[in-house]
Amino acid sequence: MTDVETDLLIIGAGPSGLYATYYAGFRGLRVALVDSLPELGGQVTAMYPEKQIFDVAGFPSVKGRDLVAGLVEQAATAHPEYFLDRTAVALKHEDDAVTIELDDGTRIRAGAVIITAGIGKFSPRPLPAGDGWLGRGMEFFVPSFAPYAGKDVVIVGGGDSAFDWALHLEPVARSVALVHRRDAFRAHQRTVEQVKASSVEIITKAQVTALYDGASGTGVVEEVEISVDGAEPVRRPAQAVVAALGFIADLGPLQEWGIEVQKRHIVVDASMRTSLHRVFAAGDVTEYPGKVRLIAVGFGEAATAVNNAAVVIDPTAHVFPGHSSEGS
User: Does 152 belong to an annotated binding site?
Assistant: no
User: Does 74 belong to an annotated binding site?
Assistant: no
Spatial distance between the Cα atoms of 56 and 60, rounded to a whole number of angstroms: 8
Give yes or no for a contact between 312 and 33, defined as CB atoms under 8 angstroms apart: no
Residue ranges of alpha helices (H) inside 93-179 are 160-169
User: Does 16 belong to an annotated binding site?
Assistant: yes
Strands of the 223-228 sheet, one edge to the other: 206-212, 223-228, 234-237
Residue ranges of alpha helices (H) inside the chain are 15-26, 42-47, 64-76, 160-169, 189-196, 295-313
- Nearest residue to 12 via CA among 21, 4, 24: 21
Q: How many Cβ atoms are within 10 Å of 233's Cβ, its own excluded?
A: 14
User: Does 227 belong to an annotated binding site?
Assistant: no
Cβ contacts of residue 143 below 8 Å, gap of 6+? 46, 47, 49, 50
User: Does 36 belong to an annotated binding site?
Assistant: no
Spatial distance between the Cα atoms of 40 and 52, rounded to a whole number of angstroms: 18
Give yes or no for a contact between 112 and 313, defined as CB atoms under 8 angstroms apart: yes
User: Does 32 belong to an annotated binding site?
Assistant: no
- Nearest residue to 159 via CA among 107, 114, 195: 195
User: Does 123 belong to an annotated binding site?
Assistant: no
Spatial distance between the Cα atoms of 35 and 11, rounded to a whole number of angstroms: 6
Residue ranges of alpha helices (H) inside 80-233 are 160-169, 189-196
User: Does 48 belong to an annotated binding site?
Assistant: yes
Percentage helix, strand, coil for the chain under 3-state DSSP, each rounded to 5 = 25, 30, 45
Which segments are annotated as binding site for FAD?
A: 16, 35, 43, 48, 88, 122, 284, 325
Which segments are annotated as binding site?
A: 16, 35, 43, 48, 88, 122, 284, 325
